[in-house]
A and B are shown apart, each in its own frame.
Chain A
Amino acid sequence: MSFCLNGVGLTHANGFAALKELTLKAEKGERIALIGPSGAGKTSLLSVLGTALAPTVGTAEVLDFGQNFRSTVALAKLRSRIGTVHQSPPIPGRQRVVTAVLAGKLGQWPAWKSLASLLYPLDIPGARAALERVDLADKLFARCDQLSGGQLQRVGIARVLYQQPELILADEPVSALDPTLALATIRLLVADAEARGATLVASLHAVDLALGNFTRIVGVRAGQIAFDLPASEVGVPLLHDLYASEGDELPVQAHESHFLPPAAANDAATRAACC
């Protein structure tokens, strides 16, 4: 088992219930896409999985670690096994790309190594390898405030690739990338998870990206799970239902009206890659 949420509810400090009675389970190595309208609770759900927020009701177990039980040492150990790709990459502008990538392993490195790396990056080949996979090897020693928004987001992804976590959480990981690069990056995350047998949970606003690359699709609406199906069983009516609050158009990468021949989900992704 990779994680198991049981009747989880999350109420924010202002009293707003972002998640209600939510139950979701995943085995090791599964690749799940979260889709749903804005404000549905995708980020909230990922925050609970990432141990950033503790559920206010119900139980959450992540990588065999009951979250409701909290000891800081064990929690830090657990967290070093979880990698998160954030929507806006949380990287200081004045940091160099190499340092930002190496920071992915701060939870695993001994203290001396983390300290020494501030003076001289101790794993340059490792950082370069991760950056090569997102096509940014030439920026290894650049400063992050010299990168474009999309490049910075890819640095955030390289950091997670370098961290090699057992559970990858991604919150709209490609929102700053153009369609071609977005597809390539999603494929990269999926391939990385597949190769290492890691679990991947990604929230996406482009339905075609989700259907084309993930095996399991979880629709979230109003803090609850609307559906939880293999990609091949997710049809257009179901999607229109999910996005009812946002009008008739479904959010996609490629702006063609007939993007989704049911059951041939991969085509949408292919098309997205061509435009």
Chain B
Amino acid sequence: MLEVNDLKVHLDTDSGIVKAVDGVSFTVEAGKTIGIVGESGSGKSVLAMSLTQLNPQPPAFYPQGEILFEGKNVLKRTKKDLRKIRGNDIAMIFQDPMSSLNPVFNIGDQIKEAIRTHDKKMSRQDVEKKVIELLTDVGIPDPKRRINDYPHQFSGGMRQRVLIAIALACKPKLLIADEPTTALDVTIQAQILELMKDIQKKYGTAIIIITHDLGVVANIADKILVMYAGRIVEEGSVHDIFYRTSMPYTWSLLRSLPRLDIDESERLLTIKGQPPDLIHPPEGCKFNPRCPFVSPECLKMDPPLTERGSNHRAACILSNEQFEEAKQALIIAERKGVHS
């Protein structure tokens, strides 16, 4: 349904060209869920918005690649065509529900607008009915009354539900959720993720869920893409990513997850070093300044994605076996360090 080929999205800023997305390819199949995971600044949001060309141009521009939605290149569409895709075929929800609703219009009007934009003929009563239905679907209690309320009268979690209702208004084929739970409390996070699962079942929507937290996508994604410095560095099923990790960056991400079976003191809370400068990225493998397994080879060449199993690819010069050995050696060295 969606096929992204070698896409580059760069941003022309005062300090230079930010290579926010720098050669990304992936596909999304109808009804499936893709998780895109990466640290802050790895280019996830820029990638997400580029799929419907929502990034303001300038600064954004598209030097290379294509985005095929149902066979047609989104990058070549007219403004009018793009408007027809947005909201209707591909809908988005964003990170910060507190600021993503217009404060001066009530939520009923904001949902109605989503319906009306793509269906001008629907009668007023039907639109009204549809809004109530959507609000019920996303779990807003007492929707008939709340339809006239303004965004500031809702909590963060409820606002995210409203935004999901807006996104679902035209039964999109693809829903892109850019860190939908990051700004919310842990319990609310779980509820919103649950809601997204239910929605997928009911509406059959494909979902791209973007997060910096592997834990968020562990239960919901069919496929995970790990992004680093504007590139995909590993992709595979949840099982591949968690148990057959083939790329040091993914491994570092996993180690930074809170876990019950590891003593807090042994946990790497964050990955050492700074996320890379996307204006002047490092030579060779972009992860090399921070990689515990770096070798002289890594400074010379930027490894491409290579097959690591069926539908499992990773970008690292180490083969799975070499990586396994290096990992063991590192863990042993760390243990010694801790105990001595």
- Answer whether A and B are interacting partners: no
Listed in ascending order, the chain B residues whose CB lies under 8 Å from chain A are: none
Listed in ascending order, the chain A residues whose CB lies under 8 Å from chain B are: none
